[in-house]
Amino acid sequence: MNIAVHNNLKALVDYYHENKLSHTYLLETNDIEKCYAELKIIIKNINCPHEYQDNCANCNLCKLLDNNYLPSFLVIEPDGKIIKKEQILDLKTRFSTIPIYTKENIYIIKNAECLNATSANMMLKFIEEPENNILGFFITNNVNNVISTIKSRCEIVKVFYEANMDSIYNNPYFSLVYSYLQKIELEKSKAILYNKSIFLNNANLDYNLIFKLMLDIYIQAIKVKMGEEDQEYSEQFAFLLKNDLKELRRREQIISAYLEELIYNVNIELFLDKFVIELSDFNE
């Protein structure tokens, strides 16, 4: 299969053909719209009655799926800031009959963190009765913000796309993370203090996004170090580029490991202290 989608999504097609697909997935991504578009390619791929080609234009099924007109396929997006119980009721009504054109009734819920307790409770019935041909996908920026009764019943798949400089600069946490990295790289002995002054004094920070952004910044630094020219980056991130390639890779691995740990509920103060000690490598 040669389709341009994220590898972790592509793997779902293999699971499907091996009959190993779960009934409910929670996709965590840094780009909800892109993830949604690629997920639709996957859904077309597994349902297309022909040998699926990129942008299958030959069949009605793919056309109907493209336009969200297929009766056995429903996309739910938040109405304002929440997903309302009426939207879930609509889903239940639609999917109370067996699917006709596809093997499963398939739903996608975008911004799954917008399910409130009422609508989430209504959703649980679908998730708990997997025998009735329903395949579900929740998409979110942060699994920790998804109500735990839903999260615990889903298989979590990470669909993170490589950042470019634009997405790094446009990240809402850019200036916060930039000043943090600058301080912990240049003033290592005081690094722990900056956990408090920069992060912990702010309530309600999304540490998942913060750590993902840090990771993206170090990945870019590694690229620049390896000779991929980016003048703008080299000037702004000189404080990172003074590290050699080995050091940058070590930091990348540490940040990546801590990002994984954030799936679990952590004590953020201890978490950050441990992180900064490991990252700063006080032995040098």
Whose Cβ is closer to Zn ion: residue 62's or residue 254's? 62
> Could you report how far apart the first and last alpha carbons of the chain are, in Å?
48
Of these, 26, 56, 70, 191, which contacts Zn ion (CB under 5 A)? 56
- Report in angstroms the alpha-carbon separations of 242 from 29, 85, 204, 246: 31, 54, 33, 12
CB 218 within 8 A of CB 256: no
By CB under 5 A, tell whether 59 contacts Zn ion: yes
By CB under 5 A, tell whether 64 contacts Zn ion: no
Whose Cβ is closer to Zn ion: residue 56's or residue 240's? 56
Whose Cβ is closer to Zn ion: residue 38's or residue 216's? 38
| Distance in Å, CB of 73 to Zn ion, minimum | 13
| Distance in Å, CB of 85 to Zn ion, minimum | 34
Separation CA 261–CA 178 (nearest Å): 22
By CB under 5 A, tell whether 65 contacts Zn ion: no
Of these, 62, 76, 114, 115, which contacts Zn ion (CB under 5 A)? 62
Separation CA 141–CA 132 (nearest Å): 28
Stretch that binds Zn ion, among 56-64, 118-126, 137-145, 255-263 (CB under 5 A): 56-64
By CB under 5 A, tell whether 41 contacts Zn ion: no
Separation CA 39–CA 27 (nearest Å): 10
All residues at 6 or more sequence positions from 136 whose CB lies less than 8 Å from its CB, including other chains:
23, 24, 25, 106, 107, 108, 109, 126, 127
Contact footprint for Zn ion (CB under 5 A)? 48, 56, 59, 62
